[in-house]
Amino acid sequence: MMERVTYLYPEIALFITTCIVMIVGLSRELKHRKLCAPISGLGLLAAGVLATGLVPGFHVATGAEVDPTAGQILLPNLVPYAKVLVAGVGILLLLLQAGTVDRVEEARIASGRAAFNPLRSNRAEYYAFFLFSLTGLMLCASADDLIWLFLALELTSLPTYIMVTMSTSRHSSQEAGVKYFFLGALGAAVFLYGFTLLYGATGSTNLNQIHHAIAAGGLSGLSLAGMLLALLGVCFKIAAVPMHFYTADVYQGAASSVSAFLAFVPKTAGFIAILLLASCAGWTHGAGDSLPDALRTVLWVIAALTMTVGNVLAIWQNSVKRILAYSSIAHSGYMLVGVVAGPGGGTFATSGIAAVLFYLLCYGVMNIGTFGVLACLEGRAGADGEPAEIESLDDLRGLCQRHPVLGWTMVICTLSLLGLPPLLGFFGKVPLFTSAISAGEIPLVVVLGLNSAIAAFYYLRIVGSCLLEKPETTTGIVRVTPFGSRPAGALASAAGVIVLAIFGNGFMAASEKAAAYDGGHVEKKEPRAAGVPETAPQALGPAKAEGH
């Protein structure tokens, strides 16, 4: 049990930080309430440092012993990589959150028109929900049980429903929150029902034992149904077809800072869950299919439809946030290609799992820049005093002339999303191609290449509006937000796109290590002690199954 606690040090740090933020955010003093963001940043930094110390055998920071088999042993090195990734991208996301809530209320208090009322203050709750969702994401990486995985996915998702609703005072945010909540409940019901079928088919909720049961007897009809339903429900988290319909409306209705959060956090949780579920089904690479035929076929079709639907629908949009929403759908399709490819890889090919993990880092960094620029640009204030967000491509016209730093940030990050060399997105997309080619998924590679070409149309529309067109004077005043951390977050994202493209070999190597797949563990049958019922769980041993 203590070995499991050692793996949870980053989550414990975030939970303690959340408790502090909930108290500080309700202080009557503005200078104390403003500490919510710095405290959250320190908590994320501490969680990242603690996660870097998680190596098989011991914890670097504390010296405590870490049993590598204390959790799931199919992807044993996934935990530290995923948690460092969450902490790092979480800090970038935190920079965009300033002024998302309580902006109008704080202005009224500062002007003396209202007194501080803790019932009307949302700062404490908002940053607490922000941290709770990231905590749930880290717990997804630590999951070794279906029940744990379900609770972690819901801890990741439930705060986001409220964050969307409270992100602005507009009715569109409330509508987006309601849509997101009900469709999220549907997705949760579907994958939870799949989990119950997996339990019924294998007799266990433990991921290692589920893998052993499937490796020993293959996918039965019941376990196959459970796996398919579980994957279908998790498709909601990653905004993949056919669970993608909410994406554009929710991204458009939420504040840009929250849309950036949605584009990374639930998506990452969903892909971690998909990798864990696929690991239970087992990969065979080289001599046979990447996954059992039925699962491979379903994921193949979902990947092809997701990237195609996302890119084609993005072409018809004029709203920048809706373009980026459909772009997010397409990128989920790209990453599913890596899942289909599996853990194999030749001399010149990265494994598909490593390609997915590295692309999550790339997508998180470059996508924050685009939404960060949108969060920095404001229109006229409405009747409630809250400034309007920019909406259309017309608002971006001549941005490189009006606000060069923000304009070039948008250009760099958008071109990186396109995958233009030598930016980070190119180096993130190449492993997806090579892993799929190595796995023999040539038709899927062709679909991926065609969709990358289709995506160039709408990405270059954004770049052209910012870089080539003259400023538009008839669409209203567009000014830069007074919150300095938002431009800092967007600029840090653009810098990351360039720096990681040059010095990203270490991160690629880390993703390769995190993707190490060991599907050869089987249950070691120990003699049953007297008085121990036959249904008691057996210990897992390191022996490899013959012929597996």
| Confidence (pLDDT) at 385 | 66
Tokens coding 413: 């990050």
State how far the Cα of 151 lies from the Cα of 74, in Å rounded to an integer.
20
User: What confidence tens digit (pLDDT) does each residue in 151-187 have?
Assistant: 999 999 999 999 999 998 888 899 999 999 999 999 9
pLDDT of 534 strictly over 50: no
Q: Are strands 387-389 and 377-381 parallel, antiparallel or unpaired?
A: antiparallel
List alpha helices for 167-246, DSSP H. Answer: 171-202, 207-217, 221-238
* The Cα angle at residue 358 between residues 504 and 17, in degrees rounded to 5: 95
| Confidence (pLDDT) at 536 | 36
| Confidence (pLDDT) at 70 | 56
pLDDT of 543 strictly over 70: no
State how far the Cα of 388 lies from the Cα of 385, in Å rounded to an integer.
9
User: What confidence tens digit (pLDDT) does each residue in 488-526 have?
Assistant: 999 999 999 999 999 888 899 999 988 888 765 444 333
Q: Give phi and psi for 124, each to the nearest 5.
A: -60, -45
Give the alpha-carbon dihedral of 154, 159, 164, 166, to 10 degrees.
150
List alpha helices for 118-145, DSSP H. Answer: 123-142
- Nearest Cα residue to 413 out of 433, 430, 399: 399
CB 476 within 8 A of CB 380: yes
The number of angstroms, rounded, from the C-alpha of 245 to the middle of its chain's C-alpha atoms is 18
User: What confidence tens digit (pLDDT) does each residue in 433-482 have?
Assistant: 999 998 889 999 999 999 999 999 999 999 999 998 887 665 556 788 88
Tokens coding 352: 């598909």
Tell me the average pLDDT of the chain.
86
pTM tops 0.85, yes or no: yes
Mean pLDDT of all residues in 344-355: 73
| Confidence (pLDDT) at 230 | 95
| Confidence (pLDDT) at 384 | 64
Task: Report CA-CA distances (Å) from 309 to 131, 245, 358, 414, 453.
Answer: 32, 11, 24, 19, 14
| Confidence (pLDDT) at 1 | 52
pLDDT of 540 strictly over 60: no
Mean pLDDT of all residues in 5-12: 88
| Confidence (pLDDT) at 200 | 94
| Confidence (pLDDT) at 71 | 67
pLDDT of 533 strictly over 60: no
State how far the Cα of 218 lies from the Cα of 165, in Å rounded to an integer.
44
| Confidence (pLDDT) at 522 | 42
User: What confidence tens digit (pLDDT) does each residue in 60-75 have?
Assistant: 444 445 454 456 778 8
- Residue 231 DSSP SS3: helix
- List of residues 6+ apart from 45 with CB closer than 8 A: 87, 91
DSSP 258: H
User: What confidence tens digit (pLDDT) does each residue in 117-161 have?
Assistant: 888 889 999 999 999 999 999 999 999 999 999 999 999 999 999
| Confidence (pLDDT) at 418 | 95
pLDDT of 225 strictly over 70: yes
* The Cα angle at residue 178 between residues 172 and 182, in degrees rounded to 5: 150
CB 369 within 8 A of CB 507: no
Domains of the chain, residue spans: 285-517
- List of residues 6+ apart from 293 with CB closer than 8 A: none
- List of residues 6+ apart from 213 with CB closer than 8 A: 201, 202, 203, 204, 223
pLDDT band with cut points at 50, 70 and 90 for residue 545:
very low
Mean pLDDT of all residues in 103-123: 86
- List of residues 6+ apart from 269 with CB closer than 8 A: 136, 137, 140, 152, 153, 156, 157, 237
Which one is predicted more confidently, 129 or 535?
A: 129
Provide the angle, in degrees to the nearest 10, between the axes of the packed helices 424-438 and 485-503: 50
Cis peptide before 242 (omega within 30 of 0): yes
User: What confidence tens digit (pLDDT) does each residue in 252-308 have?
Assistant: 999 999 999 999 999 999 999 999 999 988 875 433 445 678 888 999 999 999 999
Q: Edge to edge, what strands does the sheet with 65-66 contain?
A: 54-55, 57-59, 65-66
pLDDT of 343 strictly over 50: yes
Count Cα atoms within 13 angstroms, Cβ side, for 99: 20
| Confidence (pLDDT) at 470 | 84
- Nearest Cα residue to 92 out of 249, 272, 263: 263
User: What confidence tens digit (pLDDT) does each residue in 372-419 have?
Assistant: 999 999 887 766 667 878 888 988 999 999 899 999 999 999 999 999
Task: Report CA-CA distances (Å) from 5 to 8, 184, 421.
Answer: 5, 30, 43
